[in-house]
Structure 1
Amino acid sequence: MNNRKSVTEIIIILLPLLILQVACTRNFESINTNPYDMYDDELQGDFRLIGDPLVQAMLNIYVSNDVSVTQLQQNLMGDVFSGYMMTPSPFQDNRNNITYDLLDNWNDDAWLTAYGNVMPNCRFVMDKCRGRYPDFYAWAKIIRVLAMHRVSDIYGPIIYTRYAMINEDRSIDYDTQEEVYNAFFKDLDSAITTLSQYIPTATDNRFRRFDLSYNGDYTKWIKLANTIRLRLALRISAADPVRARQEGEAALNQTYGLLYNTEDNFNISIAPVTHPLNVICNSWNDIRMGAPMESFLCGYRDPRLPHYFVPADTKDSIYHGIRNGITITSKDIYAGFSKLAWQPSRIQLCTASEAFFLKAEAALYSWKGAGDAQENYEKGIYASFRQYNLTNAYHRYVNDDTLKPKPYTDPQNPVNNIPEGSVYLSQCTIRWNEQAPEHEKLERIITQKWIAVFPDGQEAWSEFRRTGYPKLFPIVINNSGGKIPSSSFIRRIPFIQFEYATNPAGVKRAISKLRGEDNGGIRLWWDRK
């Protein structure tokens, strides 16, 4: 359920009863019964009062039960802006977010989902567990960071450390992105320390029944937290290199380490519900392969291609992607282009492959504990291939130094072509070159990470903005009125109109914390490329 309340309204009514009433049931039997008469001393029996809210928080990091929310929270935002996908639908007569005419009613679901179903549930659990159940308290912190760093990477300043702190004028203040990232690191450090101390003495894993990913394995949650800490450290490496190194090295050298193999991958199980991308792509026919994916995967002859997409509806069984931000007069014109391969009933949010690519980049900067850049780069590719049972093709792929992304040809409209020699066509090869300059090494790392992170377009979009890699194709039709230059791509989403209406003073102060006006062309604090 997408709760359409302002942050102020949510906080004012922040009561345990209402938190659990508004949470999406997701067919979970434990939520459908009545937990509200439970006394605190009954928690030790089954922990449902604090476990079920965390289930709801996890399920709303990436919404899967209301596909119409998912489409705006993730698909027509990060999935498209990352170059992974593109819609064949000419929404609003081609005047929409994809052509940089940012629509207010497209921009609110990421915000309202986080403040309707993540923040209140995590806070409820933390209030109940503080000083009593350290494992649940730490777990709530990790889930909160997992969700809210994605929200900050969309909007910039968000309400985090000041959540539930209402001013005299009934407004709520936003944290700057620098402040909120510092809070993320503090929360992750605290959670990692707590769970690490808890493991040796734990006689029973109390949140196994509520864990949709790791079956209550504390060690894997620590590995995930370390990996997210390294992800966020690299995210701020241009904005605050000292803090970035400090946090990155803390993650790299923590006792339990990072995600290491495919069994460590952080996938949230949503079974028996189907993945929302299956509905958006196959039932609604609203999403297809993006043109950059065609260029890279086909150019590299990447064996992951059929695991990501299916051939276009043509007799020659080739793959076709759609370029972003083009003129589409009818949905039928591009509906026959490549659909997504069927997605399993799980939401992928962090993998061992990504962890190795994070280490590879950290090694470029000589961060302690990062190891060797080439070794990590190659392990990152291997982990991704192993994820799809493609290890037999690994050696040919990783040692290829000739294949490059191919030019893009739109068979429906040559205006959209990216020919050989275009400045937007990447020349990046696959095989590691130790003699290459740092920027070329970074391009290889991020390009392969971009391929491996699929289909999480939100993370891919963030990394593209941070690094400028991989090289993507700019939009053709720009309806931003000059606010978002096509050559620099979209950098963020403006604050939502509901907040303007219900928290105007807070939004006004938040805008002053940006590096310019509240529009899609303004770079976030960490975006220094």
Structure 2
Amino acid sequence: MKRLTLFTLLLSLFTLSSCEKYLDINRDPSNPQIAEGYVLLPPMFANMAFGEQFDSRFIGKYVQNWNDASANETWDRMGYNAGSDNAGNIWRTHYWNLGQNIQLVLNDASAKQKWDYSGAAKAIFAWSWQTTTDYHGEIILKEAFEPNRYVFDYDTQEEVYAYVQQLAQDAITDLNRTDGSVSQASLARGDLVYGGDRSKWIKFVYGILARNANHISNKSSYNPDQVIDYCNKSLASNADNFNVPFTAGGNSSLANFFGPTRSNLGNYRQSDFLVSLLDGRVFKGIIDPRQLILTTASPDGIYRGVVPTQGDPNNVNNNTKRIPTLWGEVSNQITSATQGKYIYKDGASFPILTYAEIQFIKAEAAFIKGDKATALSAYQAGIGASLDYAGVTATDKAKYLASAAVAQLASDLKISDIMLQKYLALVGHGIIETWVDLRRYHYSSEVYTGFTPPGADQLFPDNNGKLAYRVRPRYNSEYVWNRASLDKYGGNALDYHTVEPWFSQK
């Protein structure tokens, strides 16, 4: 009644024209009230990167890109933080940060025939559905965005995979349209990744399809020819990489989440496994030219890495054996003046998909098919692209490609060669994809030479001696509000994170 009385009083005090002038506060010609695609795309890109980066902090320990400077850290033990949203940001990104915002872009695009915007939005969502199910396993698909619903049932991963294929094909259809209001200049207003170039968006979508088709390599339905075809239509060079830009200096919220200014990786250290791939222990005594870029030597000049659960026993100031931070800092004092290195720089872009990854996917598919000539060519192209991305000099690149660390003959190529080089190409940014690969090969030390998960006595107690195969759904939405739905498929079990997902099963 108070609102009605106040409104009636105001009407009695102002004329109709003055009501329109003073009361219609939702109309501002300088600030549109309807969200258009060009306004929504930039924050979507940022959230794509942040979602992966937030959660890669934890999964990076599972795959041993890095481990903790402290001993017996939970994620080093392949555990999880109960009653916490840690490692739940991909879930949040998919269902909230993207979610209805994707629909807003699609609604605006449909109304104005901006098929390039609808294609880009569908591409982003296809990527997000793929990433989210690969990360969590069963997720909410059919009921996800139904209004006025508070309990949501889960769908199988197989259904989500099929939906990704459908959505990706729809994206390609839209991106190929030239009618209506399709315009590179228009799309470029919000497209900070590809500048409105629809041909690169189409390549990105084929990359999503390549991931989708290759992730089921353990199944009888796996079709390597289809994977290779998708790869051939996908990214053609590093110029096609899907890079989310960040800026250095000024506003820290615009800086790379992995950079030294934001210090989100302050207690993280390079792993011994990563160091072993670069220092010659695994690759026939050949020191990888990426060693200086992907890792940092201790003050005494020796490259060291953390073994999971053991921490860094020398983690004190002035100890010359201390393992540096990921951005190269060897002091406990972390300042904004630290420039960082590689993917760990404040202004470094964060790649969502790279040409190197596509080449390694192609190499693996061709190897499984038995076409070792194609596999060798793609494998070598992937290594070259990775070296270029890391900033290796042309001289060092040529020397490494001709070395004993790289298979020179098709007959000599092994699946471990492909997967270990893919691992190196994705260090720091392709961690979710790397975890997919490790799970597909069931953490095999024959494929991932030198990779040693924590022993049964070192694993997190809830694991019951098993390795991690999925991340539990986001705590604050599912375990607080949707717990009954979790019961239907065992999501409340303490060791649910060790249950193998559909995609890696035979």
Contact 2:116 2:183 in 1 (8 A): no
Question: Residue type matched to 1:385 in 2?
Answer: L
Matched, 1:384 2:362: no
Matched, 1:336 2:322: yes
Q: TM-score of the superposition, structure 1-length normalised? A: 0.74
Partner residue of 2:33?
Answer: 37
SS in 2 for 1:348: strand
Q: Show CA shifts across 1:302-325 (max 9, x none).
A: 10111222222x22x121111112
Matched, 1:248 2:227: yes
1:510 offset after TM fit, Å?
4.7
**Cα RMSD after superposing both structures:** 3.3
1:525 offset after TM fit, Å?
0.8
1:183 offset after TM fit, Å?
0.8
Contact 1:88 1:328 in 2 (8 A): yes
Matched, 1:113 2:131: no
Are residues 137 and 461 of structure 1, via their aligned partners in 2, closer, same or farther at CA, if it must alter by over 3 Å?
same
Are residues 480 and 33 of structure 1, via their aligned partners in 2, closer, same or farther at CA, if it must alter by over 3 Å?
farther
Q: 2:259, 2:472 → 1: CA distance?
A: 28
Q: 1:355, 1:220 → 2: CA distance?
A: 14
Q: 1:449, 1:185 → 2: CA distance?
A: 24
Q: 1:433, 1:528 → 2: CA distance?
A: 32
Matched, 1:308 2:294: yes
Pick the aligned partner of 2:472 from 494, 498, 501. 494
Partner residue of 1:362?
Answer: 365
SS in 2 for 1:332: coil
Pick the aligned partner of 2:116 from 135, 142, 150. 135
Are residues 33 and 377 of structure 1, via their aligned partners in 2, closer, same or farther at CA, if it must alter by over 3 Å?
farther
Contact 2:115 2:182 in 1 (8 A): no
Q: Show CA shifts across 1:151-196 (max 9, x none).
A: 222211122343213687x411222111111111111111112212
Pick the aligned partner of 2:170 from 175, 180, 190. 190
Q: 1:435, 1:179 → 2: CA distance?
A: 38
Matched, 1:181 2:161: yes
Matched, 1:452 2:455: no
Pick the aligned partner of 1:522 from 485, 491, 499. 499
1:109 offset after TM fit, Å?
2.7
SS in 1 for 2:326: coil
Partner residue of 1:225?
Answer: 205
Contact 1:361 1:445 in 2 (8 A): yes
Greater Rg by CA: 2
Q: 2:452, 2:157 → 1: CA distance?
A: 28
Question: Residue type matched to 2:307 in 1?
Answer: R
Q: 1:161, 1:455 → 2: CA distance?
A: 33
Structural mapping, 1:65-84, within 5 Å: 70-71=53-54, 73-75=55-57, 77-84=58-65
Are residues 107 and 394 of structure 1, via their aligned partners in 2, closer, same or farther at CA, if it must alter by over 3 Å?
closer
Q: 2:288, 2:262 → 1: CA distance?
A: 22
Partner residue of 1:506?
Answer: 485
Matched, 1:461 2:435: yes
Identity, in percent, stands at: 22
1:134 offset after TM fit, Å?
1.6
1:35 offset after TM fit, Å?
4.5
Q: 2:369, 2:181 → 1: CA distance?
A: 36
Q: 1:262, 1:496 → 2: CA distance?
A: 34
Are residues 36 and 209 of structure 1, via their aligned partners in 2, closer, same or farther at CA, if it must alter by over 3 Å?
closer
Q: Show CA shifts across 1:316-373 (max 9, x none).
A: x1211111122678963999303324234311121111111111112224499x9711
1:226 offset after TM fit, Å?
1.0
Are residues 378 and 251 of structure 1, via their aligned partners in 2, closer, same or farther at CA, if it must alter by over 3 Å?
same
Q: 1:201, 1:389 → 2: CA distance?
A: 43
State how many pairs are aligned. Answer: 438
Are residues 130 and 505 of structure 1, via their aligned partners in 2, closer, same or farther at CA, if it must alter by over 3 Å?
farther
Q: 2:293, 2:87 → 1: CA distance?
A: 30
Q: 1:430, 1:371 → 2: CA distance?
A: 14
1:124 offset after TM fit, Å?
2.2
Question: Residue type matched to 1:51 in 2?
Answer: Y
Partner residue of 1:28?
Answer: none
Matched, 1:473 2:452: yes
Question: Residue type matched to 2:433 in 1?
Answer: E
Q: TM-score of the superposition, structure 2-length normalised? A: 0.77
Q: Show CA shifts across 1:121-143 (max 9, x none).
A: 11222233236322111111111
Q: Which runs of 5+ in 1 are unaligned?
A: 1-31, 39-47, 402-428
1:88 offset after TM fit, Å?
0.9
Partner residue of 2:19?
Answer: none
SS in 1 for 2:124: helix
Partner residue of 1:351?
Answer: 354
Are residues 103 and 399 of structure 1, via their aligned partners in 2, closer, same or farther at CA, if it must alter by over 3 Å?
same
Are residues 204 and 433 of structure 1, via their aligned partners in 2, closer, same or farther at CA, if it must alter by over 3 Å?
closer
Matched, 1:234 2:214: yes
Are residues 33 and 158 of structure 1, via their aligned partners in 2, closer, same or farther at CA, if it must alter by over 3 Å?
farther
Are residues 393 and 289 of structure 1, via their aligned partners in 2, closer, same or farther at CA, if it must alter by over 3 Å?
same
Contact 1:162 1:175 in 2 (8 A): no
1:504 offset after TM fit, Å?
2.4
Are residues 345 and 199 of structure 1, via their aligned partners in 2, closer, same or farther at CA, if it must alter by over 3 Å?
farther
Q: Show CA shifts across 1:396-428 (max 9, x none).
A: 322333xxxxxxxxxxxxxxxxxxxxxxxxxxx
Contact 2:90 2:132 in 1 (8 A): yes
